[in-house]
Structure 1
Amino acid sequence: MSYDVLVIGGGPAGLSAALNVRARGRSVLVVSNPLEENPLWRAEKVDNHLGMPALSGAELLKAFRRHAEEAGAAFLEGKVLNTVRMDETWYVGIGSDMENAKALVLAGGVARGKKYPGETEFLGRGVSYCATCDGMLYRNRPVAVLGFSDTAKKEADFLSGIGCDVTYFDKPKSCTISGGKTVEQVTCDGETVRADGVFLLRPTMAPTDLFPGLAVDKGYVTVDRKMATNLPGVFAAGDCTGGPLQVSKAVGEGLVAGQSAAAFAAELARKNQ
């Protein structure tokens, strides 16, 4: 299905963006991990969001999500793996599925952690970011899963279920991926195992991995007052644009990004009539 706007990230910024897209009569899809995996979910009390004092992070997220759902936003659980723009349309790969939209809002938060040695070199030659996409290539073969969330554990279970010999590393601090033409082994936190495939299952990918050519400054996405990036039809909001990393800032930026993305989609629709 085609949408006017696709929002990457289901935290405060993404949900605010989705709500404001719907307020302007445009269709919107929010792609995100489960709410429980958002860092805000674990906050015992958030006391600096105007008008909503002393709520837990989980309570805030559930209220934000409910509001966006009631406004008519569509939701899809999953991780965005790649994007490409063709003929004024953005195509977004989510696992093994593909969605498209006229405009995007990047609201996936901060991508924590640097790439491991060997990760870039062996990408596509044993390194993968999606178990359900590439798992069948490694059936009955040894694989390593570097997991950082409950969703990653589910993907590891999927690999075991299709016959892979899985070694699971839970939130590894240091890893090195090595081999010849393809991956042969991985060493994480001092333990070395044989692996024909390595699945790195982080909660979110770095914005520059999703959008080659995206302008960033010190790791944060560069935006203007309309939350527009340097790429056509791509807007950003929340923690990915820099500090302060606060709920109120994320919600406000999401509002602007949602309005801007909706206006961009509307203008494209008028132009192509």
Structure 2
Amino acid sequence: MAAPRLSADPFNCKGYQWPANSRYEPQRVGETEHVLEWQSVTGFIDWLNARYQRLGTQFQDPATTSNQQLSFCKYVIKYWDLHTDNNQASQYRFAINNGATMNPVEHLASVYPSNNQAHSHEFVLLQSDINAPAKANLWNENQIYAASGSTRAPGMNQYMRTNPRMVILRLRWMVGARKYLTDARTGNLLVVQKTRIHDKLAELDAALPQHQPAGFHQWDPTIGNLAALWDTYMDQAFIKANAKQNASSSAG
């Protein structure tokens, strides 16, 4: 599979071009990667939870026998019958548009690239050190590279004194992450994948109130327009990722 990667030698500090003709990564330096991080999809729930907390909003326990108030996360976990034990499957399952019967998370996963469905061609191959942490940490709350570290995991400040070449390599990997995310093919895939999640959330917006588990109240009507909130969340994620990369590059 042809895939964007930065220079044939991942440790060449002077290499900043995507090879035009080579189809394969050098051995053991590439990772098959999603363009849209799954942590961005699951992080949407955390973002909503934080948003409702800032607003002071709680939700009536969906069980008709309870008067308890729940956070958004706890409400979703209970309503969607989600379990930390992967061996215990959610019983909250329904079909959308005469499709397969799935729980809400599976409905979202059904439009996310995986090895056994129609979107598997959207995987890309990316150099390991560009993929993580340089690219992965753009989409979470971590620093791309910490300024301070430890003896076992030195930070940028330690490397400035003891191994300046590693500082250059890390800066190079950040440039690689930027080039990867601004690459035309990558950008198109990101938009396509983000849009599919939006469309599936729009379907869930319509479906959730229609599928009321026994002994539960109807899906809270104030939790609507998940699709539009997803767009807001992703817009903020793009802004944060860009600012984080700019700050890290300036610090370097």
| TM-score, reference length from structure 2 | 0.24
| TM-score, reference length from structure 1 | 0.23
Which structure has greater strand proportion?
1
